[in-house]
Structure 1
Amino acid sequence: MVLHGKVIKLLITILMVGLSSAAYSKDYQAGKNFTVIHSTVKQPPPLVEFFSFYCGPCYAFAERINVDTAIRKRLPDDMKLEKYHVSQMGPLGPALTEAWAVAQYAGVDGKVEKLLFEGLQVKRDIKTAADIVMVFNQLGITSEKYAEMQSNFMVKALIARQDNLVEK
């Protein structure tokens, strides 16, 4: 009886091995079993980092640990890191998202990031939207120029993109 059970197990094992190898040996044909895509990905999508100027760990990652720099060093040359501000955090969240979009548009995002983080996390002297504009004034961007950039189509599109991606 025990021998009979062992023989059945052996036969089942041999049968399973035979069936599985038959599946592996099948010849697949292009156009019949699969489609060949001849185009290549021209540019990979960006790596997106979400952050808030109100977030203490975000401040530590950006200013103390330099996580962004470490990530950028390891990315392929054709891939970039995009940073999007989360509007939902803090009383000035939407104004800070707008400021971040203006900073990116003006090409001063690295400088503005440091000043906004310090103003909100360390000095705690940014309390109003006017205080945010003062940060740009420190960098030589007048209040008038800031207001002009706020109404720019590209800045508005960047704000919408940030908000839409945060909601996803």
Structure 2
Amino acid sequence: MKKISYILLSMIIVFTVSSAPFQENKQYETLSKQVITDFQVLEFFSFYCPHCYQFDTEYQIIKTIKAALPKDIKIARYHVSFDDVIGYELTRAWIVAVALGVEDKIAPLMFTAVQKTQTIKTVADIRKVFIQAGIKGEDYDSALNSFVVKTLITQQKKVAINFNLKGVPAIFINGRYMIKNEGIDISSKEAYVKQYTDVIKFLLNR
């Protein structure tokens, strides 16, 4: 009787694993150590990254995720500079955008300026993007030079190190799972966006 029960239990476990909608090391991977953050969904990106540009403008992954997930799910986007001078300034500017609540306005304009028109050469050029988005120059300057922005830059850099970040775009779920972009269905734009969102939902509930 015990042997039969063991066989049935084994069958249930095998069925549960095989019937899981997504597979570890295919659509996602589990980190060796969980990173404690304030956010359930955390994206690392760079305005210099062509794939991040596609992610944001063509696939609109984060916008779709925000619309699909419950409002109480905390989502954040961290800009990565990889020790580049202008990249660092873009990181500062992005934190300002978050602080002012204008990420949705700034992201497409900044991506266009960096990737398409290539007009971001100096700190002044970055400031112009905010003015283009309707932000007063003095408000931008005040936020940029605030203690909060300086503190957040340090904090976000530490988080990237803790995740052992090696490239972007990278999305982490609950500080424990990382989406494997190469494992997502690429048969169509719609399929890619849908599966990406479904994988995130799946991992949030693990």
TM-score by length of 1: 0.69
3-state DSSP of counterpart to 1:141? coil
Counterparts in 2 of 1:102-113, with a 5 A limit? 102-113=96-107
Between Structure 1 and Structure 2, how many residues are aligned? 132
Check whether the contact 2:39–2:76 (CA below 8 A) recurs between aligned residues: no
Matched, 1:74 2:60: no
Check whether the contact 1:72–1:80 (CA below 8 A) recurs between aligned residues: no
C-alpha displacement at 1:158, in angstroms?
2.4
- 1:92 is aligned to 86
- RMSD of the alignment, in Å? 2.4
Runs of 4+ aligned residues of structure 1 deviating over 6 Å after TM superposition are none
- 1:152 is aligned to 146
3-state DSSP of counterpart to 2:150? helix
State the AA in 1 paired with 2:141: A
Matched, 1:143 2:129: no
| Separation in 1, partners of 2:84, 2:134 | 27
| Separation in 1, partners of 2:136, 2:58 | 29
Larger Rg: 1
| Separation in 2, partners of 1:143, 1:49 | 28
State the AA in 1 paired with 2:72: D
| Separation in 2, partners of 1:73, 1:91 | 34
Matched, 1:165 2:159: yes
| Separation in 2, partners of 1:144, 1:78 | 33
| Separation in 1, partners of 2:88, 2:113 | 16
TM-score by length of 2: 0.57
| Separation in 2, partners of 1:83, 1:90 | 19
1:74–1:149 Cα change, 3 Å: same
